[in-house]
Structure 1
Amino acid sequence: MPQFHLFPDAPRPVAPFSHAVEASGWVALTGQMPTDPAAPDAPLPDGIEAQTRRVMENLRLVLDGLGLDLGDVVQCRCYLTEFERDYACFNEVYAEFFPEDRRPARTTIGVTALAVGALVEIDCLAAPRS
């Protein structure tokens, strides 16, 4: 049976969803936005670098609620509203969060818009280490 998780320390959901769902040994994390968990109605950070850092920290909060970390992530999907402008800077920040020899599989997609006016959103799939 799937287990559905909402964590009080993670960002407030911006739509009707769970932070994560566990099923068959996998964990799917909902795409995180660059919102501040301590002040969910505060303005978003300025620029792709700051928003990417906030999204990655929000993913860490959800993973932490599961007893996991970024080392358990096997795949990420990344969404950018300004793909051509932001892709290189996004990659620089994203790379800071994963060791070079443990980077998850990844797809990055240019989109026309994201919730809350964000520049970036990232969802991921994790496989807890035994």
Structure 2
Amino acid sequence: MSGPIFHMLAGAPAPVAPYSHAVEVDGWVLVTGQLPTDPDDDTIPLPDGIEAQTHKTMDNLRRVLAGLGLGFEHVLQARVFLTHFERDYAAMNAVYASYFPADRRPARTCIGVTGLARGGLVEIDFVARRP
């Protein structure tokens, strides 16, 4: 087993707390939960609504994966956190599903929470594996 690599990636969203964008060990990549922040200007307000926030969150995850030379096809597991679970679950699922082929969707857990950083409606993290 090799030692972990702690990745801070140019072009990825600025961390909202003290963490790495991803930690990698032996081909396993743990991608920190991303919020719908603007990766190019952290001062821009979050998008309105769960659909826009889910798209922005997935786009931020794509940036992190791309910075590691990976893509959504390498994602094996996801966790989704929603602040308004009953209200936003179906709409978030519709957006989330559009990022993965129907026959290659990661294992997933979706959790209702009382709050997220920056007042986000959604946060998503991934576990990926290098080929």
- TM-score normalised by the shorter chain: which range applies? over 0.9
Q: Mind listing any 5+ residue stretches in structure 2 that lack a counterpart?
A: none
2:26 equivalent to 1:24: yes
Counterparts in 2 of 1:43-122, with a 5 A limit? 43-122=45-124
Are residues 1:33 and 2:38 paired?
no
1:25 and 1:67 map into 2 onto residues whose CA distance is: 12
TM-aligned CA deviation for residue 121 of structure 1: 0.1
**1:17 shift after superposition:** 0.1
Query: Equivalent pairs: percent with the same residue?
Result: 63
What code does the residue aligned with 1:74 have? L
Unaligned residue ranges in structure 1 (runs of 5+):
none
**What are the superposed Cα offsets for residues 104-124 of structure 1, whole Å, 9 maximum, x if unpaired?**
000000000000000000001
What is the DSSP-based 3-state SS (H/G/I as helix, E as strand, rest coil) of the residue aligned with 2:103? helix
Distance 1:98 1:24 in 2: 25
Cα distance in 1 for residues equivalent to 2:56 and 2:20 = 19
- Distance in structure 1 (CA, Å) of the matches to 2:43 and 2:125: 21
Among residues 7, 10, 15, which one is paired with 1:8 in the alignment? 10
**Aligned partners of 2:73 and 2:23: how far apart in 1?**
18
Hey, what's the Cα distance between the residues in 1 that align with 2:98 and 2:39? 21
Question: Stretches of 4+ moved more than 4 A in 1?
Answer: none
Question: What's the secondary structure of 1:102's corresponding residue?
Answer: coil
Shift of 1:24: 2.1
